[in-house]
């Protein structure tokens, strides 16, 4: 199944969005991009969360509460590693569980896969006394039918154990979960979340609210510790994050770029530097704030009612440069709105025309307190130094508005998008 959507209709959509926003027009013209078509490659999935490609186009994919599967180039699907309570998988791991935003999240392929057949997944697990998120290293067999040799290379990424009095306050919340190898340095980057625990983001002893940079055995990259404050866990690359669900690497410089969910305001794209502090610190009784529900100020001053996002930003900034003057400044802040920024990937290849080299970012959409829902994919044209955004357009996504969870580029340059509704789409320039 495939269909096209005209650029003209996008223009109308953008104009309407801009009117609703009553804010500076975020998206200009998409006319410089290619016309797109899309194909539904998988449907009826349960919360597909991430994808990773082998060089021949075979696609590993995760479903949050089911497990890891692979779609072969001929379209057949093999179910590899199932979670607790699943059936029909070649292997099952009863310790792998899901709740709320947690479950089986990211998947990555080792850069030396052709030699070592190694892949990685990020999943919640019950092995430890308290649930944690783990990064599992697995071997994929030659037939692409099963995995073996599980080694948990990271075992102690915090997981939210119990519900709290916050929006999205169930257990498993703010769970991060994207994992990607940086082609530039060969390390595995792991994004985590703050679990609605205000102590985690600025704590050097916890892996929550961080981006980790590790090797294939789970050891920190040697220069992490040179860049982070004294006493930090050596696996930490950057800290002071809220809930990072997207990471990608600049195609020319290799610099990591993350997408970070905003606190009822200001979704962010951040360009990371080793040892950087992203400036998130939702602890009560600091920076002018008093007590907060369950000791977490992350949605205050008024967590259950709509209010001007700019007023929220002043009270509880996602990047607190007053408290942390050296914090990494965001490359982009979604015009001060929080709409569920979920994933990012640099598009590369001449088939993408003027979008070649631009950063595609996806949104789940959150309609709260007068903020437009905003389900979409944006293309960010970065400045020469990569520190700011020159222009933003909305991709005229031929799939229509969806809860876009993951964007991944296939080896041939096609863009794949997973949506919470249960589909994975291939999006191609015409």
**Shortest reach from residue 377's CB to another protein, in Å:** 16
Q: Which is nearer to another protein, 169 or 256 (CB)?
A: 169
Q: Which stretch binds another protein (CB under 8 A): 205-213, 215-223, 325-333, 369-377?
A: 369-377
| Smallest distance from another protein to CB 384, Å | 37
Contacts 24+ apart (CB under 8 A), 419-423: 419/48, 420/47, 420/48, 420/364, 422/43, 422/44, 422/45, 422/46, 422/47, 422/48, 423/40, 423/42, 423/43, 423/45, 423/48, 423/399
Counting residues that bind another protein (by CB under 8 A) gives 31
- Based on CB atoms, which residue is closest to another protein, 40 or 412? 40
**Which residues ranging from 338 to 367 are in contact with another protein (CB under 8 A)?**
364-365, 367
Interior/surface letters 367-400, b for 16+ CB within 10 angstroms, e for the rest: eebebbbbbbbbbbbbeeeeeebebbbbbbbbbe
What is residue 102's DSSP assignment?
B
Beta carbon of residue 67, minimum distance to another protein (angstroms, whole number): 17
Q: Which residue among 304, 321, 383, 412 contacts another protein (CB under 8 A)?
A: 304
Contact between 303 and another protein by CB under 8 A: the answer reads yes
For another protein, the binding residues in 81-110 under the rule CB under 8 A are 100-101
Rounded least distance, CB 78 to another protein, Å: 24
| Spatial distance between the Cα atoms of 229 and 227, rounded to a whole number of angstroms | 7
Contact between 163 and another protein (CB under 8 A)? yes
Residues in contact with 268: Cβ distance below 8 Å, sequence separation at least 6, in sequence order? 259, 260, 262, 278, 318, 319, 330, 331, 332, 333, 334, 341
Stretch 381-410 residues interacting with another protein (CB under 8 A): 401, 403, 405
Could you check whether the bond before residue 301 is cis, i.e. omega within 30 degrees of 0? yes
Shortest separation between residue 353's beta carbon and another protein, angstroms: 31
113 belongs to the binding site for another protein (CB under 8 A):
no
160: contact with another protein by CB under 8 A: no
Q: Which is nearer to another protein, 27 or 45 (CB)?
A: 45
Residue 83: closest CA among 75, 94, 72: 94
Regarding 242 and contact with another protein (CB under 8 A), the answer is: no
Is residue 411 involved in binding another protein (CB under 8 A)?
no
Candidates 25, 306, 326, 411; binder of another protein (CB under 8 A) is 306
The binder of another protein chosen from 21, 72, 373, 410 (CB under 8 A): 373
What letter would DSSP give residue 114?
H
Q: Which of residues 169-228 bind another protein (CB under 8 A)?
A: 169-170, 172-173
Within 8 A by CB and 6+ apart from 360, the residues are 344, 345, 346, 347, 377, 378, 379, 380, 395, 407, 415
From 167, 251, 353, 386, residue interacting with another protein (rule: CB under 8 A): 167
Is residue 317 within 8 Å of residue 279, measured between CB atoms? yes
Residue 86 or 323 having the CB closest to another protein: 86
Beta pairing, strands 77-82 & 91-92:
parallel
φ and ψ of 137, to 5 deg:
-105, 130
* Min dist. Cβ of residue 55 to another protein (A): 31
Q: Per-residue DSSP letters for 227-294?
A: HSPTT--TTEEEB--SBEEEEEE-TTT--EEEEE--SSS--EEEE--TT-B------SSSTT----GG
Pattern 64-83, binding to another protein, x per CB under 8 A? x-------------------
- In angstroms, give the least distance from the CB of 264 to another protein: 10
Residues at the contact surface with another protein, assessed by CB under 8 A? 47, 64, 100-101, 163-164, 166-170, 172-173, 299, 303-306, 364-365, 367-369, 373, 375, 401, 403, 405, 420-422
């Amino acid at each position: 199944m495939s269909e096209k959507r005209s650029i003209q209709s996008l223009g109308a959509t953008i104009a309407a969005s801009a009117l609703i926003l009553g804010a500076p027009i975020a998206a200009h013209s998409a006319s410089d991009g290619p016309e797109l078509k899309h194909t539904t490659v998988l449907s009826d999935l349960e919360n597909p969360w991430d994808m990773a490609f082998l060089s021949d186009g075979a696609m590993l994919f995760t479903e949050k509460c089911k497990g890891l599967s692979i779609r072969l180039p001929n379209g057949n699907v093999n179910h590899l590693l199932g979670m607790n309570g699943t059936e029909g998988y070649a292997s099952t791991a009863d310790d792998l569980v899901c709740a709320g935003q947690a479950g089986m999240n990211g998947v990555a392929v080792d850069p030396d896969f052709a030699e070592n057949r190694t892949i990685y997944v990020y999943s919640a697990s019950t092995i430890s006394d308290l649930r944690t998120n783990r990064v599992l290293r697995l071997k994929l067999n030659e037939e692409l039918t099963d995995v073996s040799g599980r080694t948990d290379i990271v075992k102690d990424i915090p997981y939210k154990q119990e519900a709290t009095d916050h929006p999205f306050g169930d257990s498993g919340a703010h769970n991060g979960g994207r994992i990607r190898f940086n082609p530039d340095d060969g390390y595995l980057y792991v994004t985590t979340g703050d679990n609605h625990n205000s102590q985690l983001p600025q704590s050097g002893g916890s892996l929550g609210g961080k981006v980790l940079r590790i090797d294939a055995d789970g050891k920190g990259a040697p220069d992490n510790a040179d860049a982070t404050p004294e006493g930090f866990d050596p696996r930490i690359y950057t800290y002071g994050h809220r809930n990072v669900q997207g990471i990608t690497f600049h195609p020319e410089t290799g610099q990591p770029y993350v997408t970070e969910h905003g606190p009822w305001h200001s979704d962010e794209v951040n360009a990371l530097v080793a040892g950087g502090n992203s400036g998130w610190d939702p602890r009560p009784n600091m920076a002018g704030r008093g007590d907060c529900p369950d000791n977490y100020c992350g949605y205050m001053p008024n967590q259950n009612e709509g209010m001007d996002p700019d007023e929220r930003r002043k009270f509880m900034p996602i990047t607190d440069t007053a408290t942390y003057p050296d914090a990494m400044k965001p490359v982009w802040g979604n015009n001060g709105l929080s709409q569920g920024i979920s994933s990012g990937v640099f598009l590369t290849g001449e088939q993408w025309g003027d979008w070649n080299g631009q950063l595609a970012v996806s949104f789940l959409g959150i309609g709260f307190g007068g903020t437009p829902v905003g389900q979409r994919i944006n293309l960010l044209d970065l400045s020469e130094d990569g520190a700011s955004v020159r222009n933003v357009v909305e991709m005229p996504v031929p799939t229509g508005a969806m809860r876009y969870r993951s964007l991944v580029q296939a080896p041939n340059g096609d863009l794949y998008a997973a949506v919470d509704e249960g589909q994975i789409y291939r999006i191609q320039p015409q």
